[in-house]
Every structure is written in structure tokens, then in C-alpha cells.
Amino acid sequence: MKIIWALVKKKQEIYFCTVLRVEKIFQNGGGERHINNSSGRFCICALNFLLGPVKLLGGLWGIRKLSYTHYQVQEILRHLKNMVAKLNNRQLIEASVYDAMLDAAKHGIVEFIEAMREANHELLWALDSHKRGVFSYAVLNRKQDVFQLIHTVNGRRDIIKSRKDRFGNNLLHLAGHLGPSSELSQTPGAALQMQREYKWFEAVEKIVHPKCREEKNGDDKKPHELFTETHKELVIDGEKWAKQSAKSFSIVGTLMTTILFAAAFTIPGGNDEKTGVPIFSNNMAFTVFIIADSISVFTSATSVMIFIWILTSRFAERDFRLWLPLKLLLGLVFLLFSVVSMMVAFCAALAIILKAYRAYRYLIIGAAICGSMPITVLVISQVNLIRDILKSTISPIG
């Protein structure tokens, strides 16, 4: 029996597609314990029932919410768990249960792993032909939920932390390999992808035995050396992405600083010829203009300095962990504040100039509405980037 599970989580609702190909359930004879055929038929029919809607939908996820199917899958898992609990080691091998555990780890299906672990805790120690186990697959394929199960293991945790595969790789060596493209593509931008990879390496480094950090594999490479070699191109791509973003934003910030600095000395209404004091100095709108213009100049100049800081960074692997995303985030926030302050200063200047007009209030309201358009465009265009940086930086691994 070969089982391949694919699990998709979306908005806390579980969508399940189960593909089952049964070559034979169990062989009877020789005094071996066997499972009755009715149980096997029930499991096959139930799984085929789940597969039907997916075939009809052409494999498209999310067209139909299978909340009831989630309950059915839980029942199937419970039934499988009861069946597996009755098998001896030979029957587990014949039924490919060990292979199913490794497939589940590869695809991040922690529910299946936990269910089989409850049925037989020895299944957690499944190994493939390369002597790689469940946690090796979790690290290689960047499956966080499966990897976190290592904290619940009792007794053999030290063995897992220092185990090597047939190529001499320990867990930290495996973390040094570049993650699969399917996982990398979930994080936008090469710099954030590199940040995610470095966080994975750090998370594994914290749990392995200290000696594993300096061990060499079959290719005579230490984990850090392997990480540097396999992530060389990603570092270059991350540097290009960060520099391109910083250049674009710094140009905008420089233009804003130049314009706003000049606007601070081009006071609306002019100055009194005798005293040199601004004519509208007692006007509340004038105070708002000066404050907003000053804030806009300071924040735009600060954002430019931050983006220059990014352009002159070393772009070492460690820089992608925190400082580079943090610099980019701060630069974007200051630039956003600068644009908002600039629009406030613009509206205040209009209020000063147009106050003599009878319908000036309506003109100011119209100007404020128009002034909100660039702010809205900037927020919409950059909110996804800000959210991705925050999510990638704050979210823990391990």
C-alpha cells in the first residue's frame, strides 16, 4: 500500500486531497497478525470518496471548501492509526508505512506524522536508503511544523542532533543546502529569501551538538562552508534586489528633500517689508505649514541617508538576517511619513493663500482629497513589501 498525502491549510480551514494506490492491503499467513478485509475496504472507499471531488475539479484547490471532509479525514487518520498500531515491523515495511512517514515529512503533513507516531513511536525513526530520517527531510524541505516536533522527542534527541547520513552530512549540513524553489518562492525578494535561509541555518545550529558545527562531511566541507557555497548566487541576487530598491527610493527621497527645503524659505504670502516677519505668522495654517514642511524635510533626508547606508553595506550573509531588512523597512517608513507631511504642508499653504476666497473651504477639501491620492498610491504599492519584511523578520523558525 502506497500513500501520498497532500495537505493545504488556508484561513484555518483544512483542505485535504488524498491519493491512494493500493497494490495489496496485507498478506495473511505464517501466524502473522492481519487486518480484516472489511476495514481495508472501508479505508479504500473513504479515500476514493475524498479523491472524487478533486478529480472533478481538475485539481484546483479552494473551489470547494471541504470543511466536512476535514472531519472525514480525521476519521480516516484515526482508522489508519488503529490499523497501524496492530502491525509488526515486517508488516509496516510491506505496507510502506515508513516511506509514508518520510513522504509526509517532505510535504510538511504534521497531522499524519503525529497520528502514526501515536500508533507506533518507532515510525518516527524511519530512514531512507541515504540514512536520512523524518527531521532530515523536514530540514531539507524547510517544513517548520515537522521540524518543531524535535522538541517533543524524548530519549533519542541527542542521537537525532548528531546523526549523519551516508554522505557524512549532519543536520546542520542539510540546513546548509539551498531550500527547494517551492519554499523560496513563497517569500518575495531575494534578500528576504536569503534572510529566511539564514534563519533556518541558525535554528538548526542552536539544537545540534556543538561538535556538529565544525564537522566535515564526505566532501570535506563544514556546515558554514557548505552554506556559503550553496547560497552564493542567492546572496548576489539579494544584493542586487536591495540595491535596486534603495536606489529607486533614494531618488524619490532626494527630490522631495530638495523641493521641501526650498519651500521652507518660500513662505506663502511673503514677509513684511519692514520687519521681515512672515505676513501670516499669526495664522494657524501657517504654523501647520512650517511644522509639516519641517517634518517632511527631516524624514525624507533621513530616508535618503538610510538608503545610502544600504547601498554601502557589505552584504555579508549575516547582514541579511536582521540589519538589511530593518534598514529597508525604516527607510520606507520615513519616506512614507515624508510624503504624508508634504501633502499636509501643501494643503496648509493652500489654506493660507485661498483664505480670501469665499469658497476657500471647498477648495481646501478638494485639495485634501487630491492630496490623499499620492499617499494612497504609495501605501498600496509598498504595503505588501512592508508586510513581507515584517513577517519575514518577526516570524520564528524552530
- Tell me, what CATH number does 268's domain have? 1.20.140
Domain match, 279 and 309 both: yes
Q: Are residues 262 and 348 in the same domain?
A: yes
Among 230, 246, 265, the domain boundary falls at 230
Closest listed residue to residue 102, CA positions, set 68, 128, 64, 66: 128
Mean of pLDDT over the chain: 79
Flag whether pLDDT at 7 surpasses 60.
Answer: no
Residues 378 and 340: their CA atoms lie apart, in Å, by: 10
| Same-domain status, 90 and 184 | no
Is there a domain that residue 96 lies in?
Answer: yes
Please check whether residues 269 and 311 belong to one and the same domain. Answer: yes
The confidence score (pLDDT) of residue 272 equals 57
For the ranges 20-24, 60-64, 198-202, 373-377, the maximum mean pLDDT occurs at 198-202
Count of beta carbons in the 10 Å neighbourhood of residue 154: 6
Task: Provide the pLDDT for residue 361.
Answer: 72
Is residue 323 in some structural domain? yes
Q: In this structure, are 15 and 144 located in the same domain?
A: no
Q: Single out the residue in 230, 247, 273 at which a domain terminates.
A: 230
Is residue 131 in a domain? Answer: no
In a domain, 132, yes or no: no
> Domains in the chain: how many in total?
3
Q: Is the pLDDT of residue 116 over 50?
A: yes
Q: Is residue 387 part of a domain?
A: yes
Residues 244 and 390 in one domain: yes
pTM as predicted: 0.75
Q: Which domain holds residue 254?
A: 238-394
Looking at per-residue pLDDT, the higher value among 33 and 91 belongs to 91
Residues 215 and 276 in one domain: no
185 and 304 assigned to the same domain: no
Rounded to an integer, the average pLDDT of 54-83 is 61
Q: What's the confidence (pLDDT) of residue 369? A: 80
- The reply to whether 122 and 142 lie within a common domain is no
159 or 242, higher pLDDT: 242
| Domain assignment present for 367 | yes
| Range name among 41-55, 243-257, 332-346 with the lowest pLDDT average | 41-55
Least confident of 33-42, 68-77, 199-208: 33-42
Greater confidence (43 vs 288) lies with: 288
Same domain, 201 and 274: no
Please tell me whether residues 108 and 205 are part of one structural domain: no
Give me the pLDDT at residue 365, please: 77
Whether residue 119 sits in one domain with residue 256: no
pLDDT tier, 269 (very low <50, low <70, confident <90, very high otherwise): low
Domain end marker among 126, 158, 179: 126
Mean pLDDT to the nearest integer, 298-315: 94
